[in-house]
Amino acid sequence: MQIIPARLEHTPEGVLYSSTFADAYHSRDDALGQVRHVFLAGNGLPDRWQRRERFTIVETGFGAGLNFLATWAAWRADPLRSARLHFVSCERHPFRREDLARIHACWPQFAALAADLQAQWPVLAPGLHRLNLDDGRVTLTLFLGEAGDGLAQLVARADAFYLDGFAPAKNPELWSERIFHLLARLAAPGATLATWSVAGSVREGLRRAGFEVVKRPGFGGKWQMLRGELARPLPDDGEHDGRTIRHALVIGAGIAGCTAAERLAERGWTVDLIDAAAPGQGASGNLAGVLRPLPSLDDNRMSRLTRAGSLYGWRHIDRLAARGFPVRAAACGVLHLGRDAKQEAKMRAVVERLALPAEHLAWVDGAQAAEIAGCAVAGGGWWFAGSGWVQPPSLCAASLAAAGANLRTHFGCRVAGLQRDADGWRALSADGGGTIASAPVAILAAGVGAHDFELAQALPIVSARGQVSHLPAVAGSAPRVVVCRGGYVSPELDGLRCAGATFAVDDEEPALRAADHAENLEKLDTMLPGFARDFDPATLAGRVGFRPASPDRLPMIGAAPVRGIPPASAGLADVGRHPDLHVLSGYGARGLVWSALAAELLASRLEGDPLPLTRDLCEAVDPGRFILRPASTGPLAE
């Protein structure tokens, strides 16, 4: 679905207006007064969030974000506020960042909050976008697209609903019985709703969905508003149980484990991080890797997941830097060149079909690509202006620094196995020294080493050997951006550029091989003709890493499954799981793409927070999928 941004328009009286829907965005009397009277007071706020661990609000129309800013400000001003505030909203026609800044200037009392929101405002691409604000205490989960599609795929439990949007007569889809039934599915026990609309169709639709609604005095020119509660909340599906003891073992200090430790620590978890080596080694030790999406004509699961992972990954890196924990990275842009004219035509069709913002994905011809790269290139292709390279060890270091005092490290400790007792999981030392650490929750983020654990034997994790070549380079030399086509080459970094990488399944050779350097140089020459001629494969330096890959090329994120053969009609909910044991694996060559979003997804599950991915994508990365459909043992391609 193409996201068409809202136009910045006003009535002659200066009220924010949409000519598309022929309606105003807010009350003509006092927009902020309406928010406070209808949505805050109508839902019993701030009283209802006080002294709670978390409070979740679901809104049907984000608009210009005034409801969110006013709620955030009221929450911050309340000394008895909940520890965390989640705000989930849908918007079919979002404003561009520059238009939001103009709109928000009308409410200078929210200037600081509005600036933080604008700084993280996402690329206007369809799907869920997760924004972590206010030192992680406030989370905005924004679905861009039709509200019905978003609410149907949302995994959350709402304590309050803001029913907002253009009038039912102007935008009936947003006030349909389907919407109301979807809201009922998301309602937590005791959930309330509030809206300014008292239309008969709205009242009847809510009643049919199970809400009991009453009229209350309205605001300004509207004499009445609605307040409601769900008469009988639906049974909990088990996705939303938070923790009373926040303590986890994380085994593996690569980017999967380090980002998981940081995402949990920000939520107040104590994390014991264990690794036989120092952090950021193994497959996470490369000089530079690529963080960018992989689009497709049908916008399939890989396309949507890599888009979500890339966008969240760059926001995560920016946020770490803003908190004082910089990562060595540069969103210099990524060129992905076509193999030939036929593939170039397909790639151009993808750009036209998806119609994503140009700062995220654009098509460039050969001449434009050469100008961007600063050197001769083999042809045209995709231009990801907002993507670039990241140094994985620096992401690990920044994540661990950000975790602060909530993190306890156990480096140089090899784990022989995991054992569960009445108190949770114990990591047993391989040197016979007993227990390294213990916690109620354990997370396996050990890369290809996960298969050393009996409890992970149900997972088809394979080892993919990758060799990267290090090419001597002069500072400022071309290419100035990352270039990809069957492989990749990075800009100069510390006198070197990375070229690679090979992908060999079940190849355990740890030493560099001249033949693999030659393969990398051959790939390089197909991207940048003549560029590789001055390099000798026999003399190049480089690095070998072993990446955990999965048969379907998607990551494994979630509760570890128990080996078994489920009934033919079984679903993921029927797969047996090891209690409180979770897996982060199968990242393959896309560890930078998956790591931050995967960590946020797992931390959200453990906390009972709204999830940052739609339900179908959560199911696509669930490790239990391989129990339902055993993996092929055929060769992997990356």
Query: What DSSP designation does 377 have?
Result: -
User: How far is 261 from 403, CA to CA, in rounded Å?
Assistant: 7
User: How far is 64 from 16, CA to CA, in rounded Å?
Assistant: 9
CB neighbours (10 Å) of residue 581?
A: 22
Strands 211-217 and 415-421: unpaired
Q: Which residue has the tokens 């049974």?
A: 235
User: How far is 408 from 413, CA to CA, in rounded Å?
Assistant: 13
Would you say 421 and 259 are in contact if contact means Cβ atoms under 8 Å apart? no
User: How far is 337 from 637, CA to CA, in rounded Å?
Assistant: 19
Range list of β-strands (E), 278-366: 289-291, 329-330, 334-337, 362-364
What residue ranges of the chain are covered by domains with CATH 3.30.9.10? 334-385+462-548
Residue 634, pLDDT score? 40
Q: Is 503 helix (H, G, I), strand (E, B) or coil?
A: coil
Cβ-Cβ contacts under 8 Å for 628 (sequence gap 6 or more): 566, 570, 571, 572, 575
Cβ-Cβ contacts under 8 Å for 238 (sequence gap 6 or more): none
Strands 496-500 and 488-489: antiparallel
Of 148, 209, 203, the closest CA to residue 174 belongs to 148
Residue 297, pLDDT score? 96
Would you say 383 and 351 are in contact if contact means Cβ atoms under 8 Å apart? no
Burial class (CB within 10 angstroms; exposed 0-12, middle 13-18, buried 19+) of 470 = buried
Strands 482-484 and 334-337: parallel
Task: Give the chain's residues under pLDDT 70.
Answer: 233-243, 630-638
Amino acid identity, residue 515?
A
Cβ-Cβ contacts under 8 Å for 375 (sequence gap 6 or more): 478, 479, 528, 531
**Does 247-282+394-459+551-628 carry CATH code 3.40.640.10?**
no
User: How far is 349 from 347, CA to CA, in rounded Å?
Assistant: 5
User: How far is 511 from 495, CA to CA, in rounded Å?
Assistant: 23
Q: Which fold has domain 334-385+462-548?
A: D-Amino Acid Oxidase; Chain A, domain 2 (3.30.9)
Q: What is the pTM of this model?
A: 0.95
Residue 244, pLDDT score? 73
Terminal CA-CA length for the chain: 27
What residue ranges of the chain are covered by domains with CATH 3.40.50.150? 9-230
Residue 451, pLDDT score? 84
User: How far is 603 from 260, CA to CA, in rounded Å?
Assistant: 7
User: Could you read off the pLDDT of 466-512 as tens digits, one per residue?
Assistant: 999 999 999 999 999 999 999 999 999 999 999 999 999 989 999 99
Burial class (CB within 10 angstroms; exposed 0-12, middle 13-18, buried 19+) of 117 = buried
User: Could you read off the pLDDT of 592-630 as tens digits, one per residue?
Assistant: 999 999 999 999 999 999 999 999 999 999 999 999 976
Q: State how far Cα 132 lies from the chain centre.
A: 11
Structure tokens at 138: 């406030």
Length of the chain: 638
Query: What DSSP designation does 590 have?
Result: G
User: How far is 351 from 363, CA to CA, in rounded Å?
Assistant: 6
Q: State how far Cα 450 lies from the chain centre.
A: 23
- Residue 496, beta-bridge partner list: 472, 493
Structure tokens at 441: 């929750």
CB neighbours (10 Å) of residue 45?
A: 23
Residue 635, pLDDT score? 41
User: How far is 609 from 579, CA to CA, in rounded Å?
Assistant: 19
Stretch (H or E) spanning 301: helix 301-322
CB neighbours (10 Å) of residue 13?
A: 8
Q: Which residue has the tokens 């292709």?
A: 381
User: How far is 398 from 420, CA to CA, in rounded Å?
Assistant: 31
Structure tokens at 638: 């990356």
Residue 172 main-chain phi, psi, to 5 deg: -60, -30
Range list of β-strands (E), 186-223: 187-195, 211-217
CB neighbours (10 Å) of residue 286?
A: 26
Structure tokens at 515: 């033949």
Stretch (H or E) spanning 34: helix 31-34
Alpha helices (runs of H) in 53-135, residue ranges in sequence order: 66-77, 97-104, 111-120
What residue ranges of the chain are covered by domains with CATH 3.50.50.60? 247-282+394-459+551-628
Alpha helices (runs of H) in 105-199, residue ranges in sequence order: 111-120, 147-153, 177-186
Structure tokens at 239: 């996705």
Alpha helices (runs of H) in 374-500, residue ranges in sequence order: 392-403
* DSSP output for 423-435: TEEEEEETTS--E
Residue 220, pLDDT score? 83
User: How far is 212 from 231, CA to CA, in rounded Å?
Assistant: 6
Structure tokens at 273: 């991080």
Select the CATH number that applies to the domain covering 9-230 from these four: 3.90.79.10, 3.90.230.10, 3.40.50.150, 2.30.110.10.
Answer: 3.40.50.150
User: How far is 609 from 246, CA to CA, in rounded Å?
Assistant: 14
